[in-house]
Structure 1
Amino acid sequence: MVRIYELRCEYLKEPLGIDDPYQQGPAISFEKFSPRLSWKVNGRGKDTRQVAYQVVLSNTPEGLRQQKTIWNSGLIRGHQPFCFVPAGFMQPNTTYYWKVGVSSGNGSAVVWSEPGRFSTGLIRQQWLGTWIKHPSAPKESHIWFRKNFVLPNEKMPGHFFAYVASIGYHELYVNGQKADNRVLAPAISRLDKRVFYVTYDISRFLKKGQNAIAIYYGPGWSRNNYFAKRTSQAIRVQVYGNQFSLFSDTTWLCKESYSKNSGRFDFMDMGGELVDGRAYTDQWMLPDVDTSNWQHVVNYPPGDSVTLSAQMTDPSEIIDTIAAKTISRIIDPERHDTIYRVDMGKEFTGFLQAGFKGLRGGDTVAIMVSMRDTNPRLVGATYGIGNKVIEEQKQQQRYIAAGRGGEIFRNRFNFFGGRYIHFRGLRQAPHLKDIQGLEVSSAAEATATFECSDSLFNKIFAMDKYTYQMCHTEGVTVDCPNRERLGYGPEGAYQTMWGLGLPCFNAAAYYVKNVRDWADVQLPNGFINNVAPQISDMYGSVLNGTAILNTAWEHYRIYGDKRILEAAYPVGQRWLAFLSRHTKDSMLTRYQFGGYFLGEWVSPGPIFEYAETAEALFFNNCAYAMTLDFMIRIATTLEGRSADVQQYAQTLNALRQALHRQYYKPETGTYLNGDQVRTAFALYAGIVPDSLRERVNAHLQHLLKSQGYLNIGSFGRYPFYKTVLSEAGYFNLIAGILKKDTYPGYGYFLKKGATTFPEMWEIDQPNSTVIHTSYTGISAFFIKGLAGINEAVSGYDTVLISPHLVENVTWCKASVETPYGRVKSAWQKEGNRQVTYKITIPFGAVARVRLQNQPEKLMSSGDYVFEYSLN
């Protein structure tokens, strides 16, 4: 019996308003757009593999039922669970319905799926209106925009879609109802170059007669220094329906709302929000509201220079609500007033919803958010409480009371990261039931599972995933959600992506977006900005620029989609051309200094390797070798680029030989200072000749044994884990280290009460954050290492199952969602005598299975049990 499920278009479930996510410029037509459709299949008995498929596409559900299709693939032999609609069939602003039929062989009939749906976005010519903005509002203001319109027919056939673009955030309301559950829309982009629009199906909100469309707007990143001189606070709206269109122009009205941003929304001061309860109203978006004190908008012509692209990644949403745990009262001896400190029980990224009682009109409540309870050592603190301080990273919120019942503060267009909420200015103590934290994340659905007999490992895995969610907001993986919120390459790609984002989340669409983010921040000279999609001039290294290649390659390894390689390759060519202009004697020289040519970062100490150090120079040369290797792999995969492959291979071989001659110490078998990072990177980057790999591996194993901790930081995680998870002899060593609760280590974080991973191994370091992606991705050790689930062939067509038993762990089980379905791997020891393995291979996939010292087995889909002696 075969069942087809999980129909997706461009990796998303029934997306609205899609366009080509790999296109750099504006969409002028959809003639070349060839969207990817995918599905998964469950089968039992002899039905183990799809042998043929057929996809049909129609403009209506009835068309599918009546076989009135606009495209029919015919029955195509093949086992891959995806196909591409040929170019030439897609039209803009159109809804499509599709289904797939699968034959599993053995003479079985074609089994059909339920219909799926997607719609296309707009081409440039269909944006009929203009960018509009408030004529005079300060940049920190939250603005209401609205337009009334009349629909003559009571029942309107077809869909009505609203396409909303904003340089900043927006919420869409139709006749007083919010259009969907997303917050902080759209996802962040390089705002002076590309703005995302969001497509909403507003059909169900419309009625005969008077209607109102309204936008609640917040400035978001348009206020940030990176964009403030290049952009403004503006929106653009286009509505299409059955013989109906509406667009933004100067007939729209606007008004400043009751809320606005506070702070600078900039590096080290992302600020918060101010809500004025005296001006609160929930009627502003209704059709019959009095608009006599509203103003007409003005056009914003510079907005026409940016590219409008469909948002094709998961939206930011409130993923959970957390209740306050405790309230304590603090007397400030200097100001002689009371502060109420609320512990939310864990670190989180998101909004606060707090209700107040007993306030008088005009009372101001200051709401200060901090990651730590108190930290007397803090440098440059903003607020003092006696001899202690509130560390709040300038995340202050304010509420001005109306003096009536039901006073509520709630964030809308700015979030924070922290755990402790401090209230100053209350007349009555708050109640726990009136305070809630709203966790906000744009991370895709978490899909991987892991559990073992060691409770500490389970907690580390769970905290790794949670940290990723709390550092994935606005459609980008950031360093931290409070101090910077920047998409640095080393934090967002590499280990975070390979070890966590791709295997543990349904994040395919996000990483497609991320590759274009990196392309958007490349400079004309080939240099790639150190963060994306922001264009800040922040610290970085070769790793930052190479993040696009790393992300594209690892995405291809999981999903087998060459389009992402084709998008990244020309960017990589220009990046390598830039790097090649800064080489001498085949090695990379320092093309920038200080913090712009960093080596390892926040390793235990904490240690920061700046450009002037020999360690940073060696580190960046290894990263250069890795960059060349990625380009060779991509060029080889894309085919037709043999000349490029030859050129890059010659450059890489010369670089490897030069680095080995320059840095290898034969008397010790080490490179440069011989630490864990340098040794692992030399192995991963191919600097070590084959004849010396055993000796250099032995040195790294000796370091792990003698030091007893991971002497790595944020930047060195990826080459380190790529090395230790691919070479023999490391698994017991790493497992033994991870079981410790001493500094530095993951267990130490938990011992200190952390609920997310911090920026530094020194968790109490002043001014450091405790919600950070510096050390995320350790899940790779559990999923890829202990459970042994890996891709053997790009696209998970062939799964590699190679579990690793370690001391003091008696059982382990994990699962990973792949393009073919869920792979499961489990093992359990029975004393010292026997081990039982349980493996599940999904329909359509095959697996190479390596157990104990047995010969490798090639297995088709199904559930398997194996028992082996441990002696």
Structure 2
Amino acid sequence: MKKTFFCPFLVFLFCLFVSGFAGAQSACSIKPVNLRTEYLDRPEGLDERKPRFGWAFEAANPDGRGQGQTAYRVIVKCGECTAWDSDWVASNRMQQIEYQGKSLKSDRRYTWTLLVKDENGIEAPPAQSEWTTGLFEQSEWSAKWIGSDEVFDYKIGMKKGDCNIADPWLRKTFMLNEKPGRAVLFVASVGYHELYVNGKQIDSHHVLSPAATDHTKRARYIAYDIAGALQPGKNAIVIWLGASWSIFPGYITENLPRTPIVRAQADIYKNRSDTSPLLRLQTDETWKTLPSPNRLLGSWDFGNMGGEIFDGLREQEMDDFSSVSLDDTNWKSATVYNPKLQVTAQRVEKNRLFDEIRPVAIEDRGDGVWRVDMGVNFAGWTEIKIAGNPGDRIDFLFSERLQNEMTFRNRSAYIIGASGRGVFRNRFNYSSGRWITIKGLKARPVLDDIRGWNVRTDAGRATTFECSDPLQNWIYDRVCWIFENLSIGGMVVDCPQRERMGYGGDAHATAETAMYNYRMAAFYTKWLEDWRDVQGTEAMVGSMNDPDYARKAETSGRLLGGGIMPHTAPTYWGGGGPGWGGICVVLPWYLYQHEGDARVLETNFDMIKKWLAFLDTHVEGGLLKRFGGKWDFLGDWLWPNATAEGMNNDSAQTLCLNNCYRVYNIKTAAKIARVLGREAEAAEWENQARVSSRAIHEKYYNAGDSSYADGSMACLAGALLADVMPSELRGEVMQRLEYEILVVRKGRMHAGITAGAMLFKVLRDEDRHDLLHSMTSQTDYPSWDYMRENGATTLWEMWEKDLRGHSLLHSSYLFPGAWYVDGIAGIKRDPEHPGFQHFIIRPPHPGDVGVTWAKAAFDSPAGLIRSAWEIDANGNMRLRVSVPPNTSATIFLPDNKRCHKIMRVGAGNYTFQAGF
């Protein structure tokens, strides 16, 4: 087995830039950038009473070195009044700065000004950002929940039919004596919504709002500034609701109707600084409703997420449904409902459209049927211009597979109106696929009349990566594309076409890939709230449309101590195992390591304790026993040939792997407890981990070949990740894993979603880039390149080229995405310094990764980090590193003896060189 040895500390620097600071400076060396409030850029409607501020820096002189912050001051104002002045704080902290001022008031705009001093004590020009508050108390909501009187018939869903209710318009007219200076409308809906004021859509560039939520407990509101759209005299406001999650079977309760509903209110003020409103606008029984021309196709359940149908025969109504001049006397009165829901802010970025996609080919299939190839498998919206006779129905069938007209019942439709022309465009649903079969047209469609977009939560991209190997670039690119197509509504779904469930196992398999490539802090903070909401309820399996199932399971969950976790959040339905519910432990820890966020540990600590206590009820002699029903104790999932070998069983592999994962959960929880100063819990969990590690080792260790259980890659990875073996045996187990990969599996991957993520994490942490490269560079089955060679534009649910119903756009194998950044490019977190204010640059030995150059730019929470290395014609490695202001880095530079020259450097740009 190959080992890495460390040389003594040596300073071995070749500087790319000379220092720009040779004496006293007359200007500040740093410029604050990326000001954030609760991880968001100028959030609106925030209901956090003690929001946290963060920022990073750019260097005023890119040739400089050692730039940093020695002091900061934050001043928060509401209008002209100062709510908080931190005064000057002698510190280099620039993240997780908690507001400590006067109690924040609801529905107010706050500005915060940042002042900083650099390493020479020189003050930078002030930087400024802002946020608006939402409604802090439930008692502040006077608006009522309203909707139409049409209610979804779940029997239709059970028959795999289509939704029987229209997406309703809800309308209100009101008078104003003058144009207001301030008016923020808070809109909470169960089901998607769009907002219109006086004929104009508000915030039209955001779609599919609000984020996915556990609607048995909560609804999330979005704040809309509508002051600019209001006018003196008569005004009209319309909220257009879409069925979507409102009819999801998992949210069936006695008090929640299966129909889209909304609760909205705004206080309208004469001036921005006023505290007494001219008028409160709120939803109630005086609002009017009319079925819109749009309706959901499908029933928003497993394999029948459907699409939308628009009735163009009513297209004239679209011209004025939200205008002031519309005569709405024939509209019905809205129906008032009384669901028991907590209403809170949406603390995550909204969904929007990205990456316009143009078709590459159209095939005539005869009889008015046309097949459009969009060139790439994607989840999102489509816009298609069509023509025909009034009343003609045009159907759009979406497919992931060339040979199938439609997969997973993804379809939409348009009924042509009196004009003979129309444009289908999504509004309250999205589709997934590469091919669109169009039926009912009289003439060949034109390529320029068709386009698509990826729809995803607007969490910004943080990273770019590229290397000399086209295959590795393809895998990285497809990993990112897949993740973007799965990140919809503030959760990561397993697949966008069949289930749309937020599986915990898939979350674990993708979390570090996501954090190393996207700005995920607000996203994951919101998703963890979803996991807290669903805790205490068993997963739903069987008939999703059983109207009593979820609530029966909730009762059962309470009897089990309230710690049980369903396998998905906020969606309840689906199968899983300890590696699914255990996301409630590992995700807060990963987020803490990445962002330096201790609050996320505190907020989720009770959930973690309950989860581990639930597992304890199924432990005998230190070993976790099978629990739950058929789908509640999955181990690894979808390794090569897994469907033939059998996965959901009581095999030694399943039991060993799940026991190892439990120990990993316990050890992670103990670390969390230590950070929080919860010493009693930490000691208890550390002891539990020792006891269970011994029990696992005694039962499952195979001394003859240093393996565990069935000797599988999964069990080896699980044992190493949880570190269950005596310390003197760890090296032997690593050697056995190396043998398993290189000899038994001939360099190929032989793990699935759960164990694959464990395997990649173990090998990343051990710097075994040679083994990772071996698995990612294979060209035949099972490999990522096998998918590419078989025409894949996205990564599949399973390693096999399956044609029997599995998804071809799935979260299964995205774990290489973190390795490209922290492995090949070498940008690593320092576990002793969460949040990247100090980080590690450790490029691999070039012979381990099969590439001659690699580069990455990572916009970390602490600033933009760059790492680029190449092997020149003389066989030397040249490493270029950019360390952002107010941070430092430890550089591990490899050499031909497999030692490392280790250097600690401050902010600046550097070049290092080593020979091989």
> TM-score normalised by the shorter chain: which range applies?
over 0.9
Match of 1:69 among 66, 78, 82: 82
Give deviations 1:3-46, integer Å, cap 9, x for gaps. 111111100000000013xxxxxxxxxxxx21001111223435
Match of 2:375 among 342, 345, 350: 345
Match of 2:393 among 364, 371, 391: 364
Preserved CA contact (<8 Å) 1:822 1:841: yes
1:165 aligns with 2:165: no
Structure 2 residue matching 1:577: 3-state secondary structure: helix
Structure 2 residue matching 1:69: 3-state secondary structure: strand
Aligned to 1:276: 311
Distance 1:107 1:648, change over 3 A: closer
Preserved CA contact (<8 Å) 2:111 2:128: no
- Give the C-alpha shift of residue 737 in structure 1: 3.0
Match of 1:856 among 902, 906, 912: 902
Greater CA deviation, 701-710 or 307-316? 701-710
Match of 2:94 among 66, 69, 81: 81
In 2, Cα distance between the equivalents of 1:118 and 1:102? 24
Aligned to 1:29: none
1:148 aligns with 2:173: yes
Greater CA deviation, 789-798 or 551-560? 789-798
Match of 1:426 among 432, 441, 447: 441
In 1, Cα distance between the equivalents of 2:246 and 2:652? 39
Distance 1:105 1:41, change over 3 A: same
Preserved CA contact (<8 Å) 2:287 2:334: yes
1:715 aligns with 2:754: yes
Give deviations 1:362-392, integer Å, cap 9, x for gaps. 2112211101111xxxxxxxxxxxxxx4242
- Equivalent residues in 2 for 1:784-795, closer than 5 Å: 784-792=822-830, 793-795=833-835
In 2, Cα distance between the equivalents of 1:476 and 1:692? 39
What amino acid is aligned across from residue 497 of structure 1 in structure 2?
Answer: A
Aligned to 1:28: none
- Give the C-alpha shift of residue 424 in structure 1: 1.4
Identity %: 30
In 2, Cα distance between the equivalents of 1:590 and 1:319? 44
Aligned to 2:503: 488
With normalisation by structure 1, the TM-score equals 0.92
Structure 1 residue matching 2:516: 3-state secondary structure: helix
Greater CA deviation, 696-705 or 397-406? 397-406
Aligned to 1:37: 53
Give deviations 1:634-683, integer Å, cap 9, x for gaps. 100000x2111111111110100000000111111110111111101101
In 2, Cα distance between the equivalents of 1:682 and 1:315? 40
Structure 2 residue matching 1:465: 3-state secondary structure: helix
Aligned to 1:731: 769
Greater CA deviation, 105-114 or 267-276? 105-114
- Equivalent residues in 2 for 1:188-227, closer than 5 Å: 188-227=212-251
What amino acid is aligned across from residue 56 of structure 1 in structure 2?
Answer: I
Distance 1:440 1:506, change over 3 A: same
- Equivalent residues in 2 for 1:274-423, closer than 5 Å: 274-280=309-315, 281-282=317-318, 283-301=320-338, 303=339, 305-331=340-366, 337-357=367-387, 359-374=388-403, 389-423=404-438
In 2, Cα distance between the equivalents of 1:367 and 1:106? 64
What amino acid is aligned across from residue 172 of structure 1 in structure 2?
Answer: L
1:258 aligns with 2:293: yes
What amino acid is aligned across from residue 377 of structure 2 in structure 1?
Answer: E
Aligned to 2:724: 687
Comparing both chains, which one has the higher relative contact order based on Cα–Cα distances under 8 Å and sequence gaps of 6 or more? 2
- Give the C-alpha shift of residue 736 in structure 1: 3.1
Aligned to 1:604: 640
In 2, Cα distance between the equivalents of 1:478 and 1:115? 33
The number of residues matched between the two structures is 823
Structure 2 residue matching 1:257: 3-state secondary structure: strand
In 1, Cα distance between the equivalents of 2:56 and 2:228? 31
Preserved CA contact (<8 Å) 1:786 1:805: no
Preserved CA contact (<8 Å) 1:365 1:399: yes
1:132 aligns with 2:146: yes
Preserved CA contact (<8 Å) 1:789 1:802: yes
Structure 1 residue matching 2:604: 3-state secondary structure: helix
- Equivalent residues in 2 for 1:78-117, closer than 5 Å: 78-82=91-95, 83-86=97-100, 88-117=102-131
Structure 2 residue matching 1:850: 3-state secondary structure: strand
In 2, Cα distance between the equivalents of 1:451 and 1:397? 38
In 1, Cα distance between the equivalents of 2:844 and 2:225? 49
- Give the C-alpha shift of residue 130 in structure 1: 0.6
Aligned to 1:57: 76
- Give the C-alpha shift of residue 731 in structure 1: 1.2
1:588 aligns with 2:618: no
Aligned to 1:647: 684
What amino acid is aligned across from residue 218 of structure 1 in structure 2?
Answer: G
In 1, Cα distance between the equivalents of 2:900 and 2:586? 33
- Give the C-alpha shift of residue 408 in structure 1: 1.4
- Give the C-alpha shift of residue 111 in structure 1: 3.6
Preserved CA contact (<8 Å) 2:578 2:662: yes
What amino acid is aligned across from residue 239 of structure 1 in structure 2?
Answer: A
- Give the C-alpha shift of residue 348 in structure 1: 0.9
1:235 aligns with 2:251: no
Match of 1:16 among 41, 44, 54: 44
Aligned to 2:565: 528
In 2, Cα distance between the equivalents of 1:466 and 1:762? 20
> Unaligned 5+ residue runs, structure 2?
1-28, 153-163, 270-276, 537-557
- Give the C-alpha shift of residue 832 in structure 1: 5.5
- Equivalent residues in 2 for 1:653-692, closer than 5 Å: 653-692=690-729
In 2, Cα distance between the equivalents of 1:142 and 1:228? 19
Give deviations 1:709-758, integer Å, cap 9, x for gaps. 11111111221111111225x31232133223211111122222212111
Greater CA deviation, 400-409 or 543-552? 400-409
Give deviations 1:44-64, integer Å, cap 9, x for gaps. 43561111100001113xx3x
- Give the C-alpha shift of residue 112 in structure 1: 1.6
1:839 aligns with 2:878: no
- Give the C-alpha shift of residue 229 in structure 1: 4.2
Match of 1:549 among 585, 589, 596: 585
Distance 1:47 1:88, change over 3 A: same
With normalisation by structure 2, the TM-score equals 0.88
Preserved CA contact (<8 Å) 2:30 2:67: no
Match of 2:737 among 679, 700, 714: 700
1:634 aligns with 2:666: no
Preserved CA contact (<8 Å) 2:638 2:798: yes
Greater CA deviation, 279-288 or 248-257? 279-288
In 2, Cα distance between the equivalents of 1:200 and 1:510? 20
Give deviations 1:80-137, integer Å, cap 9, x for gaps. 1131111643111111011100111323235421343443444212211210111236
Give deviations 1:571-608, integer Å, cap 9, x for gaps. 11111111111111110001124221001101111345
Preserved CA contact (<8 Å) 1:735 1:806: no
Greater CA deviation, 556-565 or 401-410? 401-410
In 2, Cα distance between the equivalents of 1:237 and 1:716? 45
In 2, Cα distance between the equivalents of 1:90 and 1:40? 25
Preserved CA contact (<8 Å) 1:587 1:658: yes
Aligned to 1:23: none
Greater CA deviation, 824-833 or 176-185? 824-833
Preserved CA contact (<8 Å) 1:18 1:119: yes
In 1, Cα distance between the equivalents of 2:885 and 2:584? 32
Runs (4+) off by over 4 Å: none
- Give the C-alpha shift of residue 833 in structure 1: 2.6
Aligned to 2:541: none
- Give the C-alpha shift of residue 419 in structure 1: 0.7
Give deviations 1:525-566, integer Å, cap 9, x for gaps. 210111001122x21100111102111000000111111101
Match of 2:511 among 497, 503, 524: 497
